Amino acid sequence: MKQGIKITLTLLIPLVIGLTSCLKDVKSPTDPGGSNNVVEFQNSSIPVSYTSIYYQYANSVLFPSTGLDTGGFNVNVNYAGAVFAAPQDITVTLAIDTAALSAFNASESSNYIVAPTDVFSFPSTITIPKGQNLGQIRVTITKAADFDFNAQYALPLTITTSSYGIVSTNFGTVMYTYVGRNKYDGLYSLDQQQVGWGAYGISDGPTYTWPSNISFLTTGATTNTINTTEEDYYQPAFTTGGGTTGFGATQTQFVFDGATDKLINVVNLQPNDGRGRAFMLNPAITTSRYDATGSTPMIYAAYIMVQNGRPSQYFYDTLTYQGPRP
């Protein structure tokens, strides 16, 4: 099964974070064509306003589960002339606008940063061909050595010049934020066997299938958490008879060796609530791993949960890749 675009890279996914009343572009009498032709960013997200500067805010997830080290997203520039077709080739120059990023962070109480220069690249000019109304470039994101999977990256772009028409007052700046997803990230089905807690109403021996796909969320270059939904971070489990449940005070993180894909550790990210719940690899099973050798990637994980005053709870998980997360 081929896996889709997420670092192993994924496509631009628009995310609207707010909306204010839409302003008309301010027309300039100095437009060389005399018809107030406007050049502006155009993407599928809805423009939103911050401190009178308009942004298009989109979240693109990068690096899908195919092991690729590059990904990216497209940037579109639109010509909005009287007849909506460029009368000539229009060359548009782009630049990074750190002042816009500062304004965005102040408006959102966020901490987005521009990535190191070896993480991203893009052409500095876009051409809108004569007779058309759209030009496009590709922003390339690279999983360089200093790519920080925990960073909040942003690429603030501004149209600085246009060879024809005027730069839009309201849509001349665009803000892209992006994060990385490692190759283990995705939606998986979960088949699980548990052993050890039969005395406490927990399944002890049978293998059950979780009723819906679970998310395997990137937390680092080679670490992921297992989540039954995007909000529920507890360790999933089954009761006697196969009902679904979960263990509180847990957030299970899987740690892989990025070179061999072997599972090398399992840890609990949640603080101790007094019960002392902790995870560890099952030392008797040496084949816990991410396996992409077949048509469908699989994760095999054998691990143990310990708790004060109780026997060890053993988990044997088989996760089958179903596709990229939304």
Q: In which band, very low, low, confident or very high, does the pLDDT at 192 lie, cut at 50, 70 and 90?
A: very high
What are the φ/ψ torsions at residue 204 (nearest 5 degrees)? -140, 85
Q: Which whole number is the average pLDDT over 183-201?
A: 96
Average the pLDDT over each of 8-22, 261-275, 308-322 and give the range with the smallest value: 8-22
Q: Collapse the DSSP code of 315 into the 3-class scheme (helix H, G, I; strand E, B; otherwise coil) and give the result.
A: strand
**Residue 173: predicted pLDDT:** 87
Q: In which band, very low, low, confident or very high, does the pLDDT at 36 lie, cut at 50, 70 and 90?
A: low
**Residue 65: predicted pLDDT:** 44
Query: Where exactly are the structural domains of the chain?
Result: 12-180, 186-323
* Mean pLDDT, rounded, of the chain: 81
CATH topology of domain 12-180: Immunoglobulin-like (2.60.40)
Task: Say whether pTM exceeds 0.85.
Answer: no
DSSP string, 125-191: EEEE-TT-SEEEEEEEEE--TT--TTS-EEEEEEEEEESSSEE-SSSSEEEEEEEE--TT-EEEEEE
Q: Is the pLDDT of residue 230 over 80?
A: no
The proportion of the chain whose per-residue pLDDT surpasses 70, expressed as a percent, equals: 80
Distance CA 135, CA 261 (A): 41
3-state secondary structure 183-222: CCCEEEEEEEEEECCHHHCECCCCEEECCCCEEEEEEECC
Pull the structure tokens for residue 287. 């084949």
Residues 6+ apart with CB under 8 A from 266: 252, 253, 254, 255, 279, 280, 281, 301, 303
Q: Which neighbouring-strand residues pair with 48? A: 55
Cβ atoms 296, 321 nearer than 8 A: yes
Q: Collapse the DSSP code of 39 into the 3-class scheme (helix H, G, I; strand E, B; otherwise coil) and give the result.
A: strand
CATH of 186-323, one of 2.40.128.420, 3.90.550.10, 3.30.200.20, 3.40.50.720: 2.40.128.420
Q: Is the pLDDT of residue 26 over 90?
A: no
Distance CA 136, CA 142 (A): 19
Q: In which band, very low, low, confident or very high, does the pLDDT at 231 lie, cut at 50, 70 and 90?
A: low
Strands 173-180 and 278-281, sheet pairing: unpaired
